[in-house]
Structure 1
Amino acid sequence: MPSAGTATRRAVQLAALLTMLALSTAQLAAALAPHCALLICATAASLALDVYLQHRDPGLIAVLGKIRFDVMVRQLLRDILLLIGLLRLHGNGSLRDYAPVFLALALCYATHLACQTLAILVRRSRTLPFLTRNIDASGLGLSPAPPRLLARQHGRRLLRFAVPATAGLLATAGTGEGRWALAGVGLALALGAAGTAYLATWLLPGKRIAGERQALEWLDGWLAEYRPTVGMYFSGGTTSAYQANMWLSTLGALGGNPIVVLRERFMMQKIEATDLPVVCIPKVVHLMALEKSSLKAMLHPANSGKTSQVLRMPSIKHAFINHGESDKLSSCNPYAKAYDEVWVAGPAARERYRLADIGVEDKDVVEVGRPQLAPIRTAAPGAAAGKPYVTVLYAPTWEGWDGNPGNTSLVLAGENIVRELLADPGVRLLYKPHPMTGSVDGRAARADARIQAMIRAANAERSGPRPGPAAAAELARRTAELDRLTTAAFRESADEVERMLLQSTPPPGRAEAVEAATAAWEEAFWASLPEWEHQVVTDVRPALFSCFNRSDLLISDVSSVVSDFLVSEKPYAVANTGGMGEEEFRANYPTVSAATILTPDARGVAQLLAAVRDPALDTLARARQELKVQLLGPADPPSLVRFDAAVTALAAKADERRVRMEARASEIPAPRLASAAGASQPGG
């Protein structure tokens, strides 16, 4: 069943479509009658509705295109009906008086098609085989993008340029004077011709960027000059960027020359602000440039279909670092065998791979901790005691791909958990669902919508003091400062090449400035909210770790959220919605051994809150401290030190292999070496 918002949107779209059809029918009737007033009103209203929908509902416009009723067909139909009406009103059925108007109108469509052809050529000429950030790419001849109206918005361009032509034709229909039609159509033709000529300048040498061969040669040269040592490779969907973003600060703190390698063009704008060089190489044939570089180690925070393409490079050693560790199968699957090493946080993950028996040898498992957890603050025992409100973070994970009801608590337990929390007047709830919630199972999306509605209703029944206008002003100031540092001031017409131009070289110290600005923004964000008000947190900011630091208790599922939260040593609970008994649940999922287990009916929430308020009732505090070490490893040496050492050791293995291969090559006699080289060629 679609949500209320979806149903409303569909109803509005249907009403707009019916209105468009009704106006076209009215225009047809007015042209044949003929009826001057109806013709003018129906034509003007139809064009205005089309322009409006182009801006406000591109989804409906796309549907019309799929049924071959696209913008050009609609505008051509309007013009034909208007001309028919004009002839029947004032032309006495003769075309002779309006021949110049017809010719100029035909030329308008010709210029539109010419502009569309040029737009395709310009877009192709501005499509590089790779994209970059934080790299001086001036050698590629980068230039600002042409106006989006000319290069990418052919529908809007056609309608906007058609306005003077339609206005002139309608004026002639109302007055019978042909000069208005000729003037309006002439102006439309002049606009189209001028726009087409202006767009054509992007094909001239002054604005044309490097071609594919020249660009690839430039990339080889940059790699040779920068000499990258370690890279992070990432490929994924639009909602998966967080998996790479969580590792940016760690990668930036490493020695050597780190680099980020992406595969999807859209991901360039999903990756958060960083000073690291970022290269996006969509095609596998161009990806092979990395094999010829000095790159020795590649880190992988996620598996994807495109991962196998980079694993084919034997000169680079590969380590799977994951984007989070949990007891779920996704944290320990046979694909890990493809990597040279599997890096885990602590002993628990090493044991998990041993028990899984999926072919990952123990010697290839390296414990490195979780260096990106440094922002999470450790709480003092009994920190929640005496607070007017206990802040509870409910952070359920998503439903996963396998249909296991135990993956997420949202469907079976989410509403019960939230209902119990909202019933306690001393609780402030922070609700932060996984960004991929509802992407597989619609029941999870509907449960999420109902939970958000419950929270809004609970807030409506609460009252209390609110921060003054100074808090809101401070948040606005901090938001503007953070946006300035993290988001380039792109023009609306900016394309990939212009973004490369604007993001070429980060200013010195930007990473530190972004970190400080983020911390200041988070403080301002929480200070701008009433301490009694429940919050739904679905935006990128504030981050999950910021929610950790503001909460006294976590309720989640079997996921990496639990492992990360253990750094704080605060109480946590895990929902058991997989149908297991509590003993079996704890035995199968070691990360919940220090947790309070909640059944789907959430009856244990009251006792859980009591233990948070009274440290004497918190019997799991010691267990959390012990589990923290088991899951995340020792505090000394620091995780970042261990991680950096693992990178150095992995790079050394790449060097050792290179030395062995060079030694073997020097031992092979020349004729045999030539024979082996010939046999390796296709068809050899």
Structure 2
Amino acid sequence: MPVASPSRRGTQALAPGALLALFTAQFLGALLPNAPLLCAAGAGGLAFELAVRRWRPGALSLLNRVRCDETVRQLLRDLLFVLGLLHLTDVAGATRLLLVGGLLAGYAAHFLCRAIGMVVRRQRTLPVLTRNIDAGELRLSPAPPRLLTAPARRIPLMSVPATAGLLATVATGRALWGLLGVGVTFGLLAGAAARLATWLLPGRRPPGEEAVLEWFRRWLAEYRPEVGLYFSGGSGTAYQANMWLSTMAALDRRAMVVLRERSMVQQIAATELPVVCLPRVAHLMLLEHSSLRVLIHPANAPKTSQVLRIPTIKHAFVNHGESDKLSSCNPYAKVYDEVWVAGPAARRRYALADVGVDDRDVVEVGRPQLAPIRRAAGPPPPEGPITVLYAPTWEGWTDDPGNTSVILAGENIVRALLGDPRVRLLYKPHPMTGTVNRAAAAADAAIRAHIAAATPVDGQPEADPAAGGAGGDLPRRSAPRPGGDDMERMAAQGVPEPGRIGEAAGAAAAFWAAQSDRAHLVLTGPRPDIYSCFNQADVLIADVSSVVADFLASGKPYAVVNTSGLSEEEFRAANPTVRAATILPPDAAGLPALLDAVAEPALDTMAVARAELTEYLLGPAEPPSLVRFRAAVDDLYAAAEARRARQRESEGEGQGQSECRASEPAERSASRRSAG
């Protein structure tokens, strides 16, 4: 579970406390009684609820987890108003019953709307979700407005008239205002239920499950996919698949992307490839009867075992990056038909790990997705700046001290870099930083604070790419309105416009052009991607991770932070990827010498070692990696076809033998009749 940042945790602690204080004040106002206190606390509570919903969604999640959601809170607020009416006004008993009855009728309409919403959502949950596929044949309808389907939005907003009316009644003693406000709220909630019910009419109902599956079968038959990228993962893991999209699109065969989680459909980056999500195993098995022959896996996941059951498909594990971590030679890799690695280093890593991967199943294909990385064109200009990319990895599931430098060394590194007037810092933390260890989340927040507080050298305000800004809005794909559901997005994200994907590279260039060349930046999210950051950087500082091996394709200097507790000699011996690196201790000593070597190539003593290590880790430059990758796909595709041919031949022989056995009794019977 992701760990919230300190500021977010503070908000989540303060918001429920503030709301509880307002409820307490409202209760005291009703009990004393005190009309001004009751009115101020009641109005303040609803206003606070609406403000939090607008600007800090999730701040009251603690109350929701203990079943004190928006509906319960509004009901409590209304009950306290009714209690106040009993003590503060002379409203007749019959009128009070009308007020209470109107409130109860409003809640009945709210719960009816909620029930209808559940039915609508269930009906609109399709067995197959797609992107980049024309789904016009299914006649998918737009989603209902969020106000109708989200109780957390509906009940506080539509309760404003009732609250205002009750406030006026308490303040003036006139029941008319309360009756009017309660009546308006009831009308809004009843109208919402009636409006939402129109999505149950035949014209707006989605096609049935079998109709959608039949449409998907026809699409498979028409498109005839040959190779696919299979991915399953949780929030924040989409980068593992995204890095392979351009490589898959560059294949000479018809390719597709196969996903398992519905939420992942929108997390996959812009691509022209057809994207298909099959959440249920039964529907995943439709691929068995398709033309798909090869699936490429960038990550291991529990749901991977489900697709491995399909006998007509060959499977290759490519991983989402290679490093000296133990996870780069996971024993699970032996379940695949082949394991595709970058170069000799990974082959040796599997051999030394002895995890059951046969060396004959290891295929060296290089790293074809590194094509966008530009080679070093020389040192930075004398006037500077030296652009340093600090890209630490995350703490990992094992939480070993050597996994990430963020906790023990991150602040030291960043302070030293920010204190050097030659440096422009780009900080791009791993997307999962802080998801396991709160100390990593706190260190990451502190690093961001240091960068935010740093004054740019040119005195201009610092750019904030995380918030967009000039040039920061990188187009990914056309999308429907924010309130749309999966069905609406599926209808909107049909066949992409020609050239749309090519805009991403231009958008990345526009983003960098819009930034000051002296501004320190915190770069989060999928855009700009790590390879785009490589092209901006003059030097990399990282941990033992796949980022190091990928950066070698640039030919530029790099440093690796040693927080493992090992000596430098032991650290280099244990991690081949750091053999050509400057090793930084936790106190960041050695940074000035590293920056001097970047500014003056004559001081760079690791250039030859980097060239040798690049070939060892990534394989030879010729033939190009993409050529080798295509050849590996073709070979595995041919193996799948040969296997299928053998199965057909075996089935044919078995059928022939069965027919012979079935004909023998008839022949013997005919022979006996002839002899008689």
Distance 1:593 1:60, change over 3 A: closer
- Report which stretch shifted further, 391-400 or 222-231: 391-400
CA shift digits 1:223-251 (9 cap, x unpaired): 11211110000111211111111111111
Q: Which amino acid aligns with 1:625?
A: A
The SS at the match of 2:556 is: coil
The SS at the match of 1:668 is: helix
Match of 1:678 in 2: none
Match of 2:495 in 1: 505
Following superposition, the deviation at residue 521 of structure 1 comes to 2.1
Matches within 5 A, 1:321-400: 321-380=318-377, 382-384=378-380, 386-400=382-396
The SS at the match of 2:101 is: helix
The SS at the match of 1:86 is: helix
The question of 1:536 aligning with 2:535 is answered no
Q: Which amino acid aligns with 1:438?
A: G
Alignment partners' CA distance in 2, 1:378 and 1:476: 29
Following superposition, the deviation at residue 60 of structure 1 comes to 4.5
Q: Which amino acid aligns with 1:12?
A: L
CA shift digits 1:261-300 (9 cap, x unpaired): 1111111111111111101111222211111211100000
Choose from 186, 189, 192 the match for 2:189: 192
Root mean square deviation of aligned Cα: 2.8
Match of 1:580 in 2: 566
Q: Which amino acid aligns with 2:605?
A: T
For the 8 Å contact 1:43–1:78, the answer to whether it is kept is yes
Distance 1:427 1:188, change over 3 A: closer
Alignment partners' CA distance in 1, 2:402 and 2:77: 57
Match of 1:123 in 2: 121
The question of 1:22 aligning with 2:24 is answered yes
Distance 1:324 1:27, change over 3 A: same
Distance 1:308 1:610, change over 3 A: same
Q: Which amino acid aligns with 1:632?
A: L
Match of 1:556 in 2: 542
Match of 1:464 in 2: 458
Match of 1:681 in 2: none
The SS at the match of 1:350 is: helix
Following superposition, the deviation at residue 105 of structure 1 comes to 3.1
Match of 1:309 in 2: 306
Following superposition, the deviation at residue 99 of structure 1 comes to 4.3
Alignment partners' CA distance in 1, 2:194 and 2:281: 37
Q: Which amino acid aligns with 1:103?
A: G
Alignment partners' CA distance in 2, 1:159 and 1:354: 62
Alignment partners' CA distance in 2, 1:97 and 1:417: 70
Match of 1:679 in 2: none
Following superposition, the deviation at residue 545 of structure 1 comes to 1.5
The SS at the match of 2:25 is: helix
Following superposition, the deviation at residue 149 of structure 1 comes to 0.9
Distance 1:48 1:588, change over 3 A: closer
Match of 2:674 in 1: none
Distance 1:117 1:630, change over 3 A: same
Following superposition, the deviation at residue 36 of structure 1 comes to 4.3
Following superposition, the deviation at residue 562 of structure 1 comes to 1.1
The question of 1:430 aligning with 2:420 is answered no
Q: Which amino acid aligns with 2:446?
A: R
The question of 1:565 aligning with 2:559 is answered no
Q: Which amino acid aligns with 2:486?
A: E
Q: Which amino acid aligns with 1:497?
A: M
Following superposition, the deviation at residue 615 of structure 1 comes to 2.1
The SS at the match of 1:488 is: coil
CA shift digits 1:453-477 (9 cap, x unpaired): 33344x23x64264999x99xx966
Match of 1:150 in 2: 148
Following superposition, the deviation at residue 344 of structure 1 comes to 0.9
Alignment partners' CA distance in 1, 2:469 and 2:442: 32
Choose from 446, 449, 452 the match for 2:445: 449
- Report which stretch shifted further, 94-103 or 582-591: 94-103
Distance 1:98 1:597, change over 3 A: closer
Matches within 5 A, 1:621-632: 621-632=607-618
CA shift digits 1:325-364 (9 cap, x unpaired): 1111111121110110111111221222222222211221
Alignment partners' CA distance in 1, 2:84 and 2:414: 63
CA shift digits 1:399-441 (9 cap, x unpaired): 2222332222223333333343334332332222211112222
For the 8 Å contact 1:399–1:438, the answer to whether it is kept is yes
Alignment partners' CA distance in 1, 2:176 and 2:408: 71
For the 8 Å contact 1:341–1:365, the answer to whether it is kept is yes
CA shift digits 1:307-331 (9 cap, x unpaired): 1111111110000011111111111
Distance 1:238 1:659, change over 3 A: same
Alignment partners' CA distance in 2, 1:674 and 1:466: 88
Following superposition, the deviation at residue 168 of structure 1 comes to 2.9
Distance 1:424 1:129, change over 3 A: same
Alignment partners' CA distance in 1, 2:158 and 2:394: 47
For the 8 Å contact 2:406–2:440, the answer to whether it is kept is yes
Following superposition, the deviation at residue 489 of structure 1 comes to 4.1
Alignment partners' CA distance in 2, 1:66 and 1:562: 41
CA shift digits 1:621-641 (9 cap, x unpaired): 112112211211222222111
Alignment partners' CA distance in 1, 2:29 and 2:55: 24
Following superposition, the deviation at residue 530 of structure 1 comes to 3.9
For the 8 Å contact 2:30–2:87, the answer to whether it is kept is no
For the 8 Å contact 2:561–2:584, the answer to whether it is kept is yes
For the 8 Å contact 1:554–1:571, the answer to whether it is kept is yes
The SS at the match of 2:220 is: helix
Alignment partners' CA distance in 2, 1:217 and 1:241: 29
Match of 1:611 in 2: 597
Alignment partners' CA distance in 2, 1:118 and 1:86: 33
The SS at the match of 1:45 is: helix
Following superposition, the deviation at residue 303 of structure 1 comes to 0.7
Match of 2:160 in 1: 163
For the 8 Å contact 1:20–1:49, the answer to whether it is kept is no
The SS at the match of 1:59 is: coil
Match of 1:5 in 2: 7
Distance 1:625 1:163, change over 3 A: same
Q: Which amino acid aligns with 1:464?
A: D
Match of 1:521 in 2: 510
| Regions of 4+ moved over 6 Å | 670-675
Choose from 269, 279, 302 the match for 1:282: 279
Alignment partners' CA distance in 1, 2:134 and 2:338: 33
The SS at the match of 1:273 is: coil
The SS at the match of 1:291 is: helix
Distance 1:503 1:608, change over 3 A: same
CA shift digits 1:606-656 (9 cap, x unpaired): 222222222222222112112211211222222111111111111111100
For the 8 Å contact 1:522–1:546, the answer to whether it is kept is no
Following superposition, the deviation at residue 208 of structure 1 comes to 0.6
Q: Which amino acid aligns with 1:65?
A: N
